[in-house]
Amino acid sequence: MATKVHMEALSPTMEEGQLVQWLKAEGDDIANGDILAEIETDKATMELVARGEGVLRKIFLTAGGTAEVGSVIGVIAGADEDISGIAGVSGGGATAAPTAPPEAPAEGAPMPAAQTLPAPEAPAVSAPATSAPATTAAATLPVSAANGGRVKASPLARRLAEEMGVDIARVPGSGPGGRVVKRDVEAAKASGVAAPVDTPATWASDGAEYEDIPTSQMRKAIAKRLVTSIGPVPTFYLTVDVDMARVIEARKSINAMLEKDGMRVSINDILLKAIAAALRQHPNCNAQWHDGFVRRFNAVHLGVAVAIEDGLITPVIKNAHAKGIAQISAEVRELAGRAREKKLMPDEYTGSTFTVSNLGMLGIHEFTAIINPPESGILAVGGIVETPVVVDGEVTVRPRMRITMSCDHRVIDGAQGARFLQTLQGMLEEPTAILL
């Protein structure tokens, strides 16, 4: 049985992929799950795994070429199996790199140019190619995914699921059209297969992931008016000037303590810790705008913008509020390193609730950053600059740093953003406040 090798959606937003290199050659034996190729997505370089076994009989896309998600880029089949029915140029948008012209068609028989392959069967699951076997992905995939997100369930089944703590999206329905009914919820409860999703402990460390606050009429009016002015994310900017002397001192003493472990933390690591702590005190800034409600996150998942070749990516420090500075430092270093190698997995660069962009090391004094929707805030951090300031009526030189916050005005009002920055400033100017 021949298996077509498709260009798979290896990131949530991927539309096409570029073939970096084949790790198997035509004629190689292939086992299910073997890594066939490296594919560059819009976010990272990912591995494409075999979804069948046999021999890699044909390759249609050469290194450097791109193909639309869903198009066929190779064929795995038995050594002697007749694949003339599917061999040929790949459908969709596959284009060969100019430096690597396509090979002659298989078995010497020229394929008519007009022959196109059947409509691509796009893989249903955009699971990362290197993650657990496909069966695991299928088992944890919400049933509702097949219905475009809507769960068909009887009113009674919905109520029971809520009462029993069963995630109805994961209950297979036995009613007409897959409707989930009472008996399905009861069976799911009994078998335990549809317990609410167990998120990893590092992801949800303290109860509810978020809280949805219905939008008031005033908030709706604010949102509506501002979007017509600057849309679709009506942004305003707040800048605060922070004295960093105490953070510099704190860094010295922390690094002295960490010396025996061979570790060092940066000013930015302390800053991230302070931001996470300040956001916990200002959940209205750790929030998202949705139609009809504002979603406030209880956990702080901090996106850290990392410049990489050809662009940038924001790996996420999950539950940053619950982590120590040393752990944050280690994670940032590790994630940023892999980000530069384009080796991040999708769940490592999605799910942030707030983002920080720091251009201080590039000599930038002050700048504004663009919000990464659906988040409603981002901090643009400049470098520490020795600056003459007036303290107690005297001009003195102090290490100062400017932070500019971009705020989605639908979620955050000026005074709210200012109060958050005030808290952050207080923590940086007196780092023991982070412990409060």
The active-site residue, picked from 282, 301, 321, 409, is 409
Residue 378's DSSP bridge partners are 355, 406
Which C-beta is closer to another protein: that of 179 or that of 365?
Answer: 179
Instruction: Measure the N-to-C terminal CA separation of the chain; round to a whole number of Å.
Output: 64
Q: Which stretch binds another protein (CB under 8 A): 33-41, 43-51, 157-165, 273-281?
A: 157-165
Strand partners, 39: 19, 46
Residue (126 or 154) nearer to another protein, CB:
154
Alpha carbon 252 to chain centroid distance?
A: 33
**In residues, how long is the chain?**
436
- Which of 96-104, 173-181, 276-284, 359-367 is the region at the interface with another protein (rule: CB under 8 A)? 173-181
Stretch that binds another protein, among 155-163, 193-201, 256-264, 363-371 (CB under 8 A): 155-163
| CA 20 – CA 281 distance, rounded (Å) | 45
Stretch (H or E) spanning 415: helix 414-429
Q: Which of 302, 287, 244, 266 is nearest to 427 (CA)?
A: 244
- Say whether residue 338 binds another protein (CB under 8 A): no
Minimum gap (Å) between residue 183 Cβ and another protein: 8
Nearest CB to another protein, comparing residues 13 and 174: 174
The pair of structure tokens assigned to 434 is 């982070």
Least distance (Å) between residue 168 CB and another protein? 13
156 binds another protein (CB under 8 A): yes
Pick the binder of another protein from 9, 67, 73, 157 (CB under 8 A): 157
Long-range contacts of 210-214 (CB under 8 A, 24+ apart): 210/295, 210/296, 210/297, 210/298, 210/299, 211/283, 211/295, 211/296, 211/298, 212/290, 212/293, 212/294, 212/295, 212/296, 213/293, 213/294, 213/295, 213/296, 214/292, 214/293
Q: Which is closer to another protein, CB of 186 or CB of 429?
A: 186
Q: What is the DSSP letter of 24?
A: S
Using rule CB under 8 A, residue 154 touches another protein: yes
Of 93, 123, 175, 178, the one binding another protein (CB under 8 A) is 175
Is 409 among the catalytic positions? yes
Q: How many chain residues bind another protein (CB under 8 A)?
A: 11
Minimum separation from the CB atom of position 154 to another protein (A) = 4
Binding mask 362-381 for another protein (x = CB under 8 A): --------------------
Least CB distance to another protein at residue 141 (A): 24
Task: Determine the interface stretch with another protein among 91-99, 156-164, 336-344, 382-390 (rule: CB under 8 A).
Answer: 156-164
With CB under 8 A as the contact rule, the residue among 176, 192, 214, 292 that binds another protein is 176
The residues near 133 (Cβ < 8 Å, ≥ 6 apart) are: 33
Q: Which stretch binds another protein (CB under 8 A): 102-110, 125-133, 142-150, 168-176?
A: 168-176
Residue closer to another protein (CB basis): 85 or 177: 177
Which uninterrupted H or E stretch holds 296?
Answer: strand 293-297
Q: Does 44 bind another protein (CB under 8 A)?
A: no
Do 388 and 410 touch, CB atoms closer than 8 A? no
Rounded Cα gap, residues 154 and 173, in angstroms = 10
* H/E stretch holding 295: strand 293-297
Of the pair 182, 264, the CB lying nearest another protein is at: 182
Measured from the CB atom, the residue of 146 and 156 that comes closer to another protein is 156
Binding flag, residue 182, another protein (CB under 8 A): yes
For tokens 């012209």, the residue is 101
Chain centroid to Cα 319, Å, comes to: 14
Catalytic residues: 409
* Contact residues for another protein, defined by CB under 8 A: 154-159, 174-176, 181-182
